[in-house]
Amino acid sequence: ETGVGTGGGVGRGGLGSGLGDRDLAGGGPVGSLWGVGKGQVARSIVYVMDRSGSMGDTFDLLQRELMRALGSLQEEQFFNVIWFNEGPANMLSPRLLGASLENKRQAFEAIKVIVPAGQTDPIDAINKGLDLKPDVLFLLSDGDFGEDNERIKRMIRRKNAGRAATINTILFVYDSMGNGAKVLREIAEENGGVFKHVTEEDLRR
């Protein structure tokens, strides 16, 4: 008699995935950005990315890291990329895409031609991202959202009640307004995700 017992104790979400009890059969490692999301497991991932004019100096490094993240996804996973500046969000696809080699290739071509311009307004992009009901959503911006900070947090609380999506947030290099870290950290904490300030030093590594 060994006395080992039958309980594995890991749970369906995978050890340390931060995704609770959700059934993620068919999921795989999240395509992490600068280590954010590492260890999380998901079937579907949406990347909501800032393409405002202030991103210009380092935008090519964001494009490269995003393509690396998408490239790491497994065929049975699903993804989408949504860009925001001012006005309507720019979605890679109106629905989640299977992470096939062909879909990744088309995504890379679309990512390469995005040019940063305009002001920062993520509301439409976050809305559309949560409408896709992903397991994990990444939100990346280079600052806070001015007078929309509270409105955005309220909208996320309403649309992601029950924390159906884990939201990871990244403050990208700058924080000219000063509140970006605070706002993005709060969004991540309220939605079971991870916050990171990716600095110029991180980009040089």
Summarised one tens digit per residue, pLDDT across range 130-166 is 999 999 999 999 888 888 999 999 999 999 998 899 9
> Is residue 128 scored above 80 in pLDDT?
yes
> Is residue 115 scored above 50 in pLDDT?
yes
The pair phi, psi for residue 195, each rounded to 5°, is -110, 145
Kindly give, in sequence order, each residue whose CB lies less than 8 Å from that of residue 147, ignoring residues fewer than 6 positions away.
none
What confidence category does residue 173 fall into, taking pLDDT thresholds of 50, 70 and 90?
confident
Mean pLDDT of the chain: 86
Question: Token pair of 127, please?
Answer: 């809305």
Give pLDDT tens digits for 53-107.
989 889 999 999 999 999 999 999 999 999 999 989 999 999 999 999 999 999 9
What is the percent of the chain where pLDDT is above 90?
69
Q: Whole-model pTM?
A: 0.86
> Is residue 127 scored above 50 in pLDDT?
yes
Question: Token pair of 41, please?
Answer: 């497991």
Instruction: Calculate mean pLDDT across residues 178-205.
Output: 89
> Is residue 111 scored above 80 in pLDDT?
yes
What confidence category does residue 178 fall into, taking pLDDT thresholds of 50, 70 and 90?
low
CA angle 163, 167, 170 (to 5 degrees): 160
Query: What 8-state DSSP symbol labels residue 201?
Result: H
